Amino acid sequence: MNYYIPFFLSLLILFTTVIAHEKLDSQPLPRPLILEYPEKIELGSKQVNEELQFKCSSWRIAGEANNLSPWKTIPLECADYVKNYMVGRAYIVDLEMVAKEAGDYAKGVQLSGDGKDVWVFDVDETLLSNLPYYADHGYGLEIFDHSQFDKWVEKAMAPAIDSSLKLYEELLGLGFKVFLLTGRRESHRDITIENLRNAGFRDWDKLILRALEDQGKTATIYKSEKRSEMAGDGYRIWGNSGDQWSDLLGMAIANRSFKLPNPMYYIA
Amino acid sequence: MNYYIPFFLSLLILFTTVIAHEKLDSQPLPRPLILEYPEKIELGSKQVNEELQFKCSSWRIAGEANNLSPWKTIPLECADYVKNYMVGRAYIVDLEMVAKEAGDYAKGVQLSGDGKDVWVFDVDETLLSNLPYYADHGYGLEIFDHSQFDKWVEKAMAPAIDSSLKLYEELLGLGFKVFLLTGRRESHRDITIENLRNAGFRDWDKLILRALEDQGKTATIYKSEKRSEMAGDGYRIWGNSGDQWSDLLGMAIANRSFKLPNPMYYIA
């Protein structure tokens, strides 16, 4: 019988090792109950977080679909969401999707060869990215500060939006004339040209900035008037790319308009 | 010395049990290496999956922003994405966001009291949901089948989109006249009325369906003509809710248009 003693001893040693291991893992018993507790708390905040993600996503998409009333700042509760979107992969993939759709459409346009086939581009958040500026200003959480933004513009350091630069060059290659139509003021012409060139943009046919008489107008009116002048001069506006609906709507609307994503600010 | 034999025997029995258990789990040894292998595959497919989520999300948002060329079926690789969107929380939250924006805007409209203040609603995927039908047809993965869809329409079983019904009642309460403008044919008038009533819709002022002479027209043209008639009759179209851009664009555009989400089909 006495050789059973070492057998049970060995079992005891083994089970002690198992229990010691449990303690090393800081897992008090009973295990299943304790494991449920933190999971439930995590699930709770995860659900709150998930609902907020849905809400902020809905808000962003409502903006892209032009469903929102004019707004001055992004919703406070969406600050992290907008930041994550802007610095993450989603913004880039969204930009690439819009550029690809525009490029595919452009390839199918029958150009006349009379030099009257035009593509209109907005500048800020369409060709040039002011993300370095907005990164310092809460990604749209702060109310827009004209004088602060002017200082940034005057540095001429805004980088190109890569997918827009690629589309831009593709359009020139296809034979489109490119007109740049920006809400920037005429006094910023030279610095804007410098910035566009620094960022790799070349060979635009017109760069239209707000003259003194355009200062009080909404972007929709100012840009509609400028597009109407183009149409009056016999230009065919095949495409228009802009990050604001006020770049695209109003009079003399392009044959196809392309809305680039921008959840950081709204211009009427 | 001989009492060590049962000790080693006991260890042998225990390890045999452990090994047998491993086999039950179908976990060949060495364990850590084997565990690493599926983890790496999972990470790889997770990244592929994440990129696909970004792509399909971009595609969906491009549709909501009217950036896409006409399309006949959803992208094959986005089949799961679209299904998950439609049956999940995101679609509901997106619908609620659009209804809320519409309602907030409507509350601010100064009604004249002359009975000429109008809100236009599309029917399918705007007031009524055909999700039960599309669930049986790949959520847009199958090419649209008119005769199959007609059979579904004739059941008059499409449920209300809850957030649209709430908005609808809110608008009636505010004093708007409600005009329903649908691409459904005149021959479906009675069944459409039955379905709308079953779903809780009441007190619309006009239900406009496609007459014989409207059959060949695009939705954009047909609906623009009908809105132009309304405008000609002195109605002020304050709002227009639809899940297709062809519900909203063209002539006699409403003062504010509200694009409800719909990644399942496209109507020109």
At A230-249, the pLDDT tens digits run: 999 999 999 999 999 999 99
pLDDT digits (tens, 9 = 90+) for B76-125: 999 999 999 999 999 999 999 999 999 999 999 999 999 999 999 999 99
What mean pLDDT do residues B207-222 have?
A: 97
Determine whether the interchain pair B14/A11 forms a contact, defined as Cβ–Cβ distance below 8 Å: yes
- At B27, the pLDDT band (50, 70, 90 cuts) reads very low
Determine whether the interchain pair B90/A58 forms a contact, defined as Cβ–Cβ distance below 8 Å: yes
Which stretches within A161-218 are classed as H helix?
A: 162-174, 189-198
Cβ contacts of A84-91, under 8 Å, gap ≥ 24: A85/A60, A85/A263, A86/A131, A86/A134, A86/A135, A86/A139, A86/A263, A86/A264, A87/A131, A87/A135, A89/B51, A89/B54, A90/B54, A90/B57, A90/B58, A91/A261
Residue A155 distance to chain B (closest CA, Å): 32
Q: Per-residue pLDDT for B73 more than 70?
A: yes
Contacts of residue B3 in chain A, CB cutoff 8 Å? 2-3, 5-6
What mean pLDDT do residues B124-128 have?
A: 98
Determine whether the interchain pair B7/A4 forms a contact, defined as Cβ–Cβ distance below 8 Å: no
Note whether A94 contacts B: Cβ–Cβ < 8 A.
yes
pLDDT digits (tens, 9 = 90+) for A139-187: 999 999 999 999 999 999 999 999 999 999 999 999 999 999 999 999 9
Q: Per-residue pLDDT for A82 more than 70?
A: yes
Sign of the C-alpha dihedral computed for residues A84, B82, B99 and B259 taken in this order = positive
Q: Per-residue pLDDT for B14 more than 80?
A: no
Residue A59 distance to chain B (closest CA, Å): 7
Q: Per-residue pLDDT for A25 more than 50?
A: no
- At B24, the pLDDT band (50, 70, 90 cuts) reads very low
The confidence score (pLDDT) of residue B46 equals: 83
Residue B116 distance to chain A (closest CA, Å): 23
Average pLDDT of every residue of chain B: 89
- At A46, the pLDDT band (50, 70, 90 cuts) reads confident
Determine whether the interchain pair A67/B98 forms a contact, defined as Cβ–Cβ distance below 8 Å: yes
Contacts of residue B65 in chain A, CB cutoff 8 Å? 64-66, 98, 259, 261
Cα–Cα separations (whole angstroms), residue A238 to A105, A118, A256, B62: 9, 6, 6, 19
The confidence score (pLDDT) of residue B29 equals: 37
Note whether A64 contacts B: Cβ–Cβ < 8 A.
yes
The confidence score (pLDDT) of residue A42 equals: 56
Determine whether the interchain pair A62/B257 forms a contact, defined as Cβ–Cβ distance below 8 Å: no
Residues 202-241 of B with CB under 8 A from A: none
Q: Per-residue pLDDT for A85 more than 70?
A: yes
- At A41, the pLDDT band (50, 70, 90 cuts) reads very low
Task: Name the superfamily (CATH) of residues B95-259.
Answer: HAD superfamily/HAD-like (3.40.50.1000)
What mean pLDDT do residues A28-55 have?
A: 63
Q: Single out the residue of A55, A142, A238 nearest to residue B89, CA to CA.
A: A55
Distance CA B241, CA B257 (A): 6
Determine whether the interchain pair A6/B11 forms a contact, defined as Cβ–Cβ distance below 8 Å: no
Contacts of residue A75 in chain B, CB cutoff 8 Å? none
What mean pLDDT do residues B252-268 have?
A: 98
Contacts of residue A1 in chain B, CB cutoff 8 Å? none
- Both tokens of A29, joined, read 């018993």
The confidence score (pLDDT) of residue A4 equals: 55
Q: Per-residue pLDDT for A268 more than 80?
A: yes
- At A198, the pLDDT band (50, 70, 90 cuts) reads very high
Residue B191 distance to chain A (closest CA, Å): 31
Determine whether the interchain pair A67/B94 forms a contact, defined as Cβ–Cβ distance below 8 Å: no
Distance CA A211, CA A182 (A): 11
Contacts of residue A5 in chain B, CB cutoff 8 Å? 3
Lowest mean pLDDT among A179-188, B3-12, B13-22, B132-141: B13-22
Residue B41 distance to chain A (closest CA, Å): 22
The confidence score (pLDDT) of residue A170 equals: 98
Note whether B137 contacts A: Cβ–Cβ < 8 A.
no
Q: Per-residue pLDDT for A20 more than 90?
A: no
Contacts of residue B247 in chain A, CB cutoff 8 Å? none
What mean pLDDT do residues B229-256 have?
A: 98
The confidence score (pLDDT) of residue A45 equals: 82
The confidence score (pLDDT) of residue B4 equals: 55
CA atoms within 13 A on the CB side of B221: 6
Inter-chain contacts counted by CB atoms under 8 A, chains A and B = 110
Q: Per-residue pLDDT for A217 more than 80?
A: yes
The confidence score (pLDDT) of residue A16 equals: 41
The confidence score (pLDDT) of residue B56 equals: 98
Note whether B70 contacts A: Cβ–Cβ < 8 A.
no
- At B163, the pLDDT band (50, 70, 90 cuts) reads very high
The confidence score (pLDDT) of residue A37 equals: 40
Share of chain B above pLDDT 90, in %: 82
Residues pairing with B124 in the sheet:
B128
Best residue in B11, B14, B51, B58 for a mutation probing chain A (most A CBs within 10 Å): B58
Note whether A257 contacts B: Cβ–Cβ < 8 A.
yes
Note whether B26 contacts A: Cβ–Cβ < 8 A.
no
What mean pLDDT do residues B32-37 have?
A: 39
The confidence score (pLDDT) of residue A139 equals: 98
The confidence score (pLDDT) of residue A177 equals: 98
Task: Could you please state the CATH topology (level 3) that the domain comprising A92-259 is classified under.
Answer: Rossmann fold (3.40.50)
The confidence score (pLDDT) of residue A43 equals: 57
Residue B154 distance to chain A (closest CA, Å): 32
Distance CA A71, CA B104 (A): 13
Residue A90 distance to chain B (closest CA, Å): 6
Hey, how many other C-beta atoms are within 10 angstroms of the C-beta on A248?
25
Q: Where in chain A is the domain with CATH 3.40.50.1000?
A: 92-259
CB environment A83-107: b (16+ within 10 A), e (fewer): bbbbeeebbbbbbbbbbbbbbebbe
Higher-pLDDT residue of A32, B140: B140
